[in-house]
Amino acid sequence: MYKKPFHITESVGNNAFSYENRSNKSLYVPSVIEGDFSDIKIGNEIVFEDMDENRILQSCKGLRNFVRMKWNGIPMIVFDNHNHALYFWYEAQKNGIIGTGNTLVHIDEHSDLWENENNITPFNSPLSGGQKSLIPPGQGGQGGFIDLEQVFRFTNFSCNVGNYIQPALREGIIGKVLRIEDTIGMGKYASYLKGEGESIILNLDLDFFAPELDYIPFEDKKRIILHFARQASLITVATSPFFIDQNRAIEMLGKVFDFDRN
């Protein structure tokens, strides 16, 4: 999945936002590549459109490509719109990087916990000939083979940037969410250490560095992010073009993880 770029043209997923008020009724979804920080580039295609708080349509360009990379040996995937994280969680599960019942450390200006009436069914029966990655039942998973094609369709056509976490909670790939949106969450979880057998996914939205959150010192933000990054089995990063300038987002990613020093 994500081997080739494509367009979403129907009023579904992220494309449903302000759909009737837009002349351009298509959103671009890039392909994913293997790379490093230097491969994270801004593209020329519109990946998100919606009205801002002043009812002005914002047409946002995202990344040229999604990028698989590593930080200190930990898998990291960088993409633009945050709902894509859902697919990469299941892909990591299929590849044995994470299991079920993971702790999601959600560092983001927004909760992304809107309700989603759609239900993902990411598992095929062991007898159905699905993807050959067996997940045992329990901890919320039905058991069977992970069907990544089904997860891919759901991620892009049945959820959006605000409601992709609830389906993951219902299915059990996420066991609990630690929300860090401001100094309250930062203080609450500053000393959090994962328990025995606990697996952490760091789910970072770079809008945490949007100008309206500049009242929080950069070093404090970096400290809490790295505190959880060092404990994580997987790191998913969204550049969120509707919520933060993409040049700033990429710059902040480099500074937090010291990619800009390599």
Closest CA to 77 of 69, 118, 151, 174: 69
| CB distance 58 to 42 below 8 Å | no
| CB distance 41 to 63 below 8 Å | yes
- Reduced to 3 states, what is the DSSP secondary structure of residue 174? strand
pLDDT in tens, 153-163: 999 999 999 99
- Reduced to 3 states, what is the DSSP secondary structure of residue 106? strand
Q: How confident is the model at residue 129 (pLDDT cuts 50, 70, 90)?
A: very low
CA distance 221 to 168: 26
Q: What is the pLDDT of residue 146?
A: 84
- The distance between the two most distant Cα atoms of the chain, rounded to a whole number of Å, is 55
Give the residue carrying structure tokens 């129907």. 10
End-to-end CA distance of the chain: 30
Q: What is the pLDDT of residue 142?
A: 45
CA distance 198 to 215: 33
Read off the pTM.
Answer: 0.92
The structural domains of the chain, with segments of one domain joined by +, span: 66-261
Residues 6+ apart with CB under 8 A from 153: none
pLDDT in tens, 80-128: 999 999 999 999 999 999 999 999 999 999 999 999 999 898 876 443 4
